[in-house]
C-alpha cells in the first residue's frame, strides 16, 4: 500500500481577467513533497547569493532583464535539474473566443473550472495536498475559500482529507511560488507570440532546448511529468 505523503502546490495565474486586452491567459503550479520545500527554498536563496542578489529578492517574469538574465537562466536550470520539482500548466491561447453566455456561466464560474482542470492531474490518492496561492487583490480571501470548495467538491473530498488547505501567501516570501510565476510568464509570452525582450527569449530558448521545441505551445503527452501542460480550447473541452 502506498504511504500517504503531503505535497505543497504553489499556484499562480497570468492575464486571467476577462477584458484586459491580452489574448492569452495561463494558470500554473509548481509542486513537491512538503518535506522537501525548505531544502529547495534554501537552494534558491543560495543561487540568489551566488548572483549577488538579496535573499529577499523576488524573482518574477516581469523583472527579467539583460542584467539579471544569467540568474534567471540558472533558476530555470535548477528547476529542470531537481527531480523533486514538477510543473503543471494550462494555457488559453485566445480568451476573446470564450462564449460564457452560450454555456450559462460567468467568467468567474469558468475561472474556477479552469483551476480544477489545471490541478486535477496533480492529485492522486492517498496523498494529501496543501495549495498556496499568490496574493492578488482584496478579493483574495473569498476567492480562496471558493476555490477550496470547488476543488474539494469536484474531488468528492467533502471532509477536506485530500485537500488539507487552500491559502494565500505573498510571492516575495515563497521561492517556489516565484518559480511558478516565471514558468507561467514563459507560457503566456510564448502563446502571445511576443519577441520584445532578448532576455525573455533566452528563457524560452532554454526551456525549449531542455524540454522540446513545442513544450510551451502544445499540449503535453500523458507521460510528461516534469513539465506538463494543457492548451485549452473550447471546441476540445467542455466549458
Q: Is 186 a member of any domain?
A: yes
Residue 238 to residue 235: CA distance in whole angstroms? 7
Q: Is 237 a member of any domain?
A: no
Q: Is 124 a member of any domain?
A: yes
Q: Is 236 a member of any domain?
A: no
Domain extent, residue 85, equals 6-231
Q: Quick: pLDDT tens for 55-79.
A: 999 999 999 999 999 999 999 999 9
Q: What is the mean pLDDT of the chain?
A: 91
Q: Which residues contact 103 (CB under 8 A, 6 or more apart)?
A: 110, 239
Share of the chain above pLDDT 90, in %: 73
Q: Is 128 a member of any domain?
A: yes
Q: Is 59 a member of any domain?
A: yes
Q: Is 238 a member of any domain?
A: no
Q: Is 239 a member of any domain?
A: no
Range of weakest confidence among 15-19, 93-97, 110-114, 138-142? 15-19
Is pLDDT at 161 greater than 60 in this prediction?
Answer: yes
Question: Would the CA dihedral through 212, 185, 152, 163 be positive or negative?
Answer: positive
CATH number of the domain residue 52 falls in: 3.30.420.10
User: What pLDDT score does 235 carry?
Assistant: 57
Q: Quick: pLDDT tens for 73-120.
A: 999 999 999 999 999 999 998 887 777 778 888 888 888 889 999 999
Question: What does the chain look like in DSSP terms, one character per residue?
Answer: -PPP-EEEEEEEEES-STTSS-S-EEEEEEEEEGGGHHHHHHHHHHHHHHTT--TT----GGG--TTTHHHHHHHHHHHHH-TT-EEEEEEES-GGG--TGGGT--HHHHHHHHHHHHHGGG--TT-EEEEEEE--STTHHHHHHHHHHHHHHHTT-TT-SSEEEEEEE-GGG-HHHHHHHHHHHHHHHHHTT----HHHHHHHHHHHHHH-TTTTTSPPPTT--SEEEEE--TTTS--
Residue 13 to residue 28: CA distance in whole angstroms? 6
Q: How many CB atoms lie within 10 A of CB 25?
A: 27
Residues in the chain, total: 239
- Count of domains observed in the chain: 1
Amino acid at each position: 500500500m502506498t504511504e500517504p505523503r503531503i505535497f505543497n502546490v504553489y499556484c499562480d495565474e497570468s492575464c486571467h481577467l476577462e477584458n484586459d486586452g491580452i489574448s492569452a491567459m495561463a494558470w500554473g503550479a509548481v509542486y513537491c513533497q512538503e518535506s522537501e520545500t525548505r531544502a529547495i527554498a534554501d537552494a534558491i536563496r543560495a543561487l540568489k547569493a551566488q548572483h549577488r542578489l538579496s535573499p529577499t529578492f523576488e524573482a518574477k517574469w516581469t523583472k527579467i532583464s539583460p542584467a539579471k538574465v544569467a540568474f534567471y537562466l540558472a533558476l530555470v536550470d535548477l528547476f529542470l535539474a531537481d527531480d523533486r520539482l514538477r510543473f503543471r500548466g494550462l494555457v488559453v491561447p485566445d480568451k476573446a473566443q470564450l462564449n460564457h453566455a452560450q454555456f450559462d456561466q460567468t467568467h468567474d464560474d469558468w475561472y474556477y473550472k479552469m483551476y480544477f482542470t489545471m490541478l486535477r492531474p496533480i492529485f492522486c490518492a492517498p496523498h494529501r495536498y496543501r495549495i498556496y496561492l499568490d496574493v492578488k487583490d482584496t478579493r483574495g480571501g473569498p476567492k480562496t475559500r471558493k476555490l477550496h470548495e470547488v476543488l474539494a467538491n469536484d474531488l468528492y473530498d467533502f471532509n477536506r482529507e485530500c485537500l488539507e488547505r487552500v491559502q494565500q501567501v505573498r510571492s516575495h516570501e515563497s521561492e517556489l511560488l516565484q518559480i511558478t510565476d516565471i514558468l507561467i510568464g514563459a507560457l503566456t509570452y510564448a502563446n502571445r507570440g511576443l519577441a520584445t525582450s532578448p532576455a525573455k527569449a533566452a528563457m524560452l530558448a532554454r526551456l525549449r532546448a531542455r524540454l522540446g521545441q513545442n513544450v510551451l505551445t502544445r499540449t503535453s503527452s500523458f507521460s510528461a511529468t516534469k513539465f506538463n501542460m494543457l492548451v485549452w480550447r473550447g471546441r476540445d473541452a467542455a466549458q
